[in-house]
Amino acid sequence: MHEFDILLINTYLLAIFSMVVRNKINAITMRTLKVLTFLMAVLFYWTLFTNLDAIDTWAFMLSRAVPLLVVIVVIINYEFRLLMEAVGVKRGRLISNAIKDDVKNELIHGIDYLSRHKIGAIITFERNDSLQEYIDHAFSIEAPLSSELIGSMFMPNTPLHDGAVIVKDNIIKCAGAYFPPSESEKIPKNMGSRHRAAIGISERNDSFTVVVSEESGAISVTIDGYLDEDISRESLILYLEKYLQN
């Protein structure tokens, strides 16, 4: 078997394994698998282009190299979007802030109220990856985001208190949404269900979530499997401006 084919098969197997386990492992492990897959692909293409004279170039490209490139793009599509965001480009235009200033102020006021009164809450913002499967199984709201509405939906002993609110395009799409909790062994055993659910949804897609602790009133955020606990109001504003972008 040719050395190109050996590299190709190994890269395909690693890519397929990454796709199969993507929803069963934590974000850090998934990132590691993606990096390994990408490095294997780089090694394959480097070996290929340094030995072009030894193969039937066009036939090899069409039958092996091009399909592999498509697979790799699918595997690292989220990282590619992050790269585009970093240079200020996304969907063919300059990035603009998706959360309007007045909506952001309403959100901050609502979260401040929840935090001061130690009312537990979880608010998730859809970014690129769809949250429709969770919206469909929650209580439909379809109302503009406001501090009063945010505060009322999380009041203790109400039907929607325990679930999550999902926001899309400045609109509260639903309340009472339930996310699969993270199964990461790195999460402290004493961490509450809201925080586990927030981490869980961030491990499965690129959503951004704000969590308010019922015990302490502390504000936390999750993104890409990462939890930043007990952040300040100023830090929350920075997170909103960084991640809620078109």
pLDDT at 242: 83
| Average pLDDT of the residues in 175-187 | 88
Q: Is 125 helix (H, G, I), strand (E, B) or coil?
A: strand
pLDDT at 176: 93
CA-nearest of 134, 117, 115 to 126 is 134
pLDDT at 137: 92
For residue 39, give both structure tokens.
């490095």
Burial of 232 (0-12, 13-18, 19+ CB in 10 A): exposed
What are the phi and psi torsion angles at 30 (to 5°)?
A: -65, -45
Give the pLDDT band (50/70/90) at residue 162.
Answer: confident
pLDDT at 63: 60
Q: What is the pLDDT of residues 188-230, one digit of tens each?
A: 877 889 999 999 999 989 899 999 999 999 999 999 889 999 9
Give the pLDDT band (50/70/90) at residue 179.
Answer: very high
pLDDT, mean over the chain: 79
Q: What is the pLDDT of residues 17-51, one digit of tens each?
A: 666 655 455 555 666 777 777 777 777 777 767 76
Burial of 230 (0-12, 13-18, 19+ CB in 10 A): exposed
> Is the model's pLDDT at 104 over the cut of 60?
yes
> Is the model's pLDDT at 165 over the cut of 70?
yes
pLDDT at 189: 78
pLDDT at 96: 43
- Which are the contacts of 71, defined by CB distance < 8 A and separation ≥ 6? 12, 15
d(CA 212, CA 218): 6
